[in-house]
Amino acid sequence: MNTGNRQKRVLLIMSSVDELGISGKQTGTWFTELAAPYYILTEAGHEVVFASPEGGEAPIDLLSMKAPFTTSYTERFFNDPVAMFAARNTRKLREVDYNTYDAVFIPGGYGLLTDLASDQHTIKLIKDFYETDRPVAMVCHAPAILRDVKLSNGEYLVKGKELTGFKNSEDEEVELLKHLLFSLEDELQERGAIYKSKANWEPNVVVDGALMTGQSPASADPLAEALSAVLTK
């Protein structure tokens, strides 16, 4: 994966959905999974551009903005007018020329199960990045978007690939599994994925070629570091 020495561009895609299924619970992008890659990548010299299906202000999960879920990155992001402006003024995904980007990073949160996971444009975007050997980094619930991604040969992208993502037991622990449209752990394994997990909430990053995945919020930092390392080679 040769990305050269120029400044790299990373497309960071957020969900536009702010409600968890029929539960009525507020949701959105999990804050540290947005804030950590933003700073890790920009401080390594890369450009990060935010996009979402609807454009404009993309919702952030309010719970993730409160202790004990906040981190040094979330505190910094919240008090950074440039970063907050970017999150409140995301580009409309379909209007972005993603061929001008070197990698895509998708943070988790429950909203993406409703929009990004079934959005044909997003599905094609991931296929195109992967087939051109550009990194696809996804953390927490974001790997759920891989459910319906097929390669040009007609096979599921995840078939035979090592990956991770939010575990059923983690969703059960927060009593939200019953509210989800589907289980990413189950669906990806049914499509041939080699699902690799660690204990609940532990950092876990799995890299298989251009596919880079993280298990839960604690994986956002090491996943962003791994992506940055690939981009700076």
Q: How confident is the model at residue 173 (pLDDT cuts 50, 70, 90)?
A: confident
The answer to whether residues 165 and 188 touch, using CB atoms and an 8 Å cutoff, is: yes
Domain assignment present for residue 3? The answer is no
- Average pLDDT, whole number, for the chain? 93
Evaluate whether residue 200 is within a structural domain. yes
Is residue 2 domain-resident? no
Whether the per-residue pLDDT at 100 is higher than 70: the answer is yes
Q: What is the pTM of this model?
A: 0.94
C-alpha dihedral, 117 to 122 to 123 to 124, nearest 10°:
170
For the chain, the domain total comes to 1
| Cα separation, 17 vs 136, whole angstroms | 21
- Mean local confidence (pLDDT), 75-96: 97
Q: Which residues make beta-bridge pairs with 12?
A: 50, 105
Percent of the chain whose pLDDT exceeds 70: 94
Give the model's pLDDT for residue 134. 98
What's the domain range around 118? 9-231
Domain of 48: which CATH number?
Answer: 3.40.50.880
Q: What percent of the chain has pLDDT over 90?
A: 83
Q: In this predicted structure, what is the pLDDT of residue 1? A: 54
Is pLDDT at 26 greater than 90 in this prediction?
no
pLDDT above 70 for 110: yes
Q: What is the pLDDT of residue 52?
A: 98
What's the mean pLDDT in 76-104?
97
Evaluate whether residue 60 is within a structural domain.
yes
The yes-or-no verdict on residue 199 having pLDDT over 90 is yes
